[in-house]
Chain A
Amino acid sequence: MNARMDTTDACDLRFGQVGIACVRVRRVDAAALCDELERRVRAAPQMFARAAVVLDLSHLLALPDDGAVDALLEAVRSAGMLPVGIAYGTSETEALAKRMGLPLIAKFRAAYEPANGGPAPVETPARAEPVAQVQREPILSAPAPGSMQGAQQHAGSVRSGQQVYARDRDLIVIGAVANGAEVIADGNIHIYGGLRGRAMAGAQGDAKARIFVSDFRAELVAIAGQYRVFEQIPDDLEGQSVQCWLDGEKLMIAKL
């Protein structure tokens, strides 16, 4: 046979879901942080010793200076964990991460940039949040650069395993969102069809974002990080046209 090059790729590059613990810093106190983490590591060394962690500074009222962040990172290291990145907060965090030589780890469920320079997010009450989540699966149809920032449209079904993300705008899906599919928008989400998968609006923390669905059978809906999973869909909502919005920190769902 003729000498054919092996055309299989030398490697696979993909976004996967990896478990990275997230250290949400509530006050800038390196010593206290070190103590706290050391206690956690001692309690469950198999879980936490040399665990990869990202530092989430988004819940501090103001971003600490470089020296303080260095101290925090050092505190994490001396507690026995390995800081591998900084969670995405604002553009300042991005600059900070650059100076620290660490990657920014973006996650969809964190509360991001405070709206129009309003007050920085105050601590949300502790609630079980999935550990930091990195982007998964290929993201379909990223918006064309320079295009008008109207809503992003997706015509046709979003199939199981697919993810559609509308950055900085609304998302309109004309078709069904299947079981195991995910639609995400920084703005509102409109679905003209069945929602059997997950929908997350206000992914960067816009608490005013809403979700509209013409045939509701969702696995999960979330707005600005407040989410609700449906093991059993309430009878009065199943198959109905509904909208979801945030009332304070409560995720409301009602028939249209």
Chain B
Amino acid sequence: MTAEIIVVTSGKGGVGKTTTSASLATGLAMAGKKTAVIDFDVGLRNLDLIMGCERRVVYDFVNVVHGEATLKQSLIKDKRHDNLYVLAASQTRDKDALTQEGVEKVLDGLSEDGFDYVVCDSPAGIEKGAHLAMYFADHAVVVVNPEVSSVRDSDRILGLLASKTRRAERGEGPVTQHLLLTRYNPARVAIGEMLSVKDVEEILGIEVVGVIPESENVLTASNNGIPVIVDVNSHAGQAYSDTVARILGEERPLRFIDVPRKGFLQRVFGG
């Protein structure tokens, strides 16, 4: 049994890759899948903060790649979910510390340990770190914000996924592409300040697998080291749950993409 490898990527920085990686990995674990999430952003590690395990990092990804520690020593078990593990990036090294063979060895090791899913949190850009994060992927979650520069960068990434991955090189069929629209604000879409779901789908030529509404809960959750998907009361958390279910093959309608209608009392009293 080999683990399914999912890369979370975007090209552009700051669109929500790490937030998505954390929630996706947690969601898969909540669905009963043994899941590891790896931070490929060597030198600018963040995933450990969002996952709330920053004080428990002893050995990291680069240590394993260089054979200075075993996988077992480096995998950090999540506090809340038994079958969820985090492999943190090194903050003191740079992206050249990763090698293709080393990454392959880690991914093979995770497969041998019986992991169902490995989520690779890609750094921004299209250089070495991002290349290695996507190279071995079976699935790609391309995170895009509803604005033109993000859409163009995602387009570039979609092109690279079709040519610069192991699957493409070996002719094993394409990497399954999932487009995830984050920071979506229906009110701003309605007044034409933001691209709509339809606009983005049309420009990129693929359908979205989920739409995550812009929400204060995301920032709060990140600051508290809790993936937002755990916050079942927040719209963003619910949207991530839907997304994970869709990636696992379930069909669910898109939610939170229209301007919420104000109730009668709200209309009378404002708010």
Q: Which of A53-61, A72-80, A154-162, A240-248 contacts B (4 or more CB under 8 A)?
A: A154-162
Closest CB in chain B relative to A197 CB, distance in Å: 10
B158, CB-defined interface residue at 8 Å: yes
Interface string of B145-157 (1 = CB under 8 A from A): 0000000110110
Closest CB in chain B relative to A9 CB, distance in Å: 11
Interface string of A154-189 (1 = CB under 8 A from B): 000101111000000000000110111000000000
A128, CB-defined interface residue at 8 Å: no
Among B66, B67, B100, B155, point to the contact of A160 (Cβ < 8 A). Answer: B155
Inter-chain contacts of B152 with A (CB < 8 A): 160, 178-180
A160 touches B159 (CB 8 A): yes
Interchain CA distance A7-B158 in the complex, whole Å? 26
A1, CB-defined interface residue at 8 Å: yes
Scoring B66, B101, B156 by chain A CB atoms within 10 A of each residue's CB, the highest score goes to B156
B49, CB-defined interface residue at 8 Å: no
B159 touches A7 (CB 8 A): no
B101 touches A7 (CB 8 A): yes
B66 touches A1 (CB 8 A): yes
B162, CB-defined interface residue at 8 Å: yes
A159 touches B203 (CB 8 A): no
Closest CB in chain B relative to A203 CB, distance in Å: 22
Interchain CA distance A7-B100 in the complex, whole Å? 9
Interface size on B, residues (CB 8 A): 16
A157 touches B100 (CB 8 A): no
Q: Quick one: which of A1-39 are within 8 Å of B by CB?
A: 1, 4, 7-8
B156 touches A176 (CB 8 A): no
A190, CB-defined interface residue at 8 Å: no
Q: How large is the interface on A (under 10, 10 to 19, 20 to 34, 35 or more residues)?
A: 10 to 19
B205, CB-defined interface residue at 8 Å: yes
Inter-chain contacts of B205 with A (CB < 8 A): 157, 175-176, 193
Inter-chain contacts of A175 with B (CB < 8 A): 205
A198, CB-defined interface residue at 8 Å: no
Interchain CA distance A221-B7 in the complex, whole Å? 36
Closest CB in chain B relative to A209 CB, distance in Å: 26
Among B67, B155, B162, point to the contact of A178 (Cβ < 8 A). Answer: B155
Q: Nearest residue in B to A179 (C-beta to C-beta)?
A: B152
A196, CB-defined interface residue at 8 Å: yes
Interchain CA distance A162-B101 in the complex, whole Å? 28
Inter-chain contacts of B155 with A (CB < 8 A): 159-160, 178-180
Interchain CA distance A160-B159 in the complex, whole Å? 7
Q: Quick one: which of B112-165 are within 8 Å of A by CB?
A: 152-153, 155-156, 158-159, 162
Q: Quick one: which of B200-215 are within 8 Å of A by CB?
A: 202-205
Among A161, A194, A196, point to the contact of B156 (Cβ < 8 A). Answer: A161
Closest CB in chain B relative to A107 CB, distance in Å: 24
Interchain CA distance A7-B105 in the complex, whole Å? 15
A interface residues with partner B (beta carbon < 8 Å): 1, 4, 7-8, 157, 159-162, 175-176, 178-180, 193-194, 196
Q: Can you name 14 A-B residue pairings with CB atoms under 8 Å?
A: A1-B66, A7-B101, A157-B204, A159-B159, A160-B152, A160-B159, A161-B159, A162-B159, A176-B203, A178-B155, A178-B203, A179-B155, A180-B156, A193-B205
B interface residues with partner A (beta carbon < 8 Å): 66-67, 99-101, 152-153, 155-156, 158-159, 162, 202-205
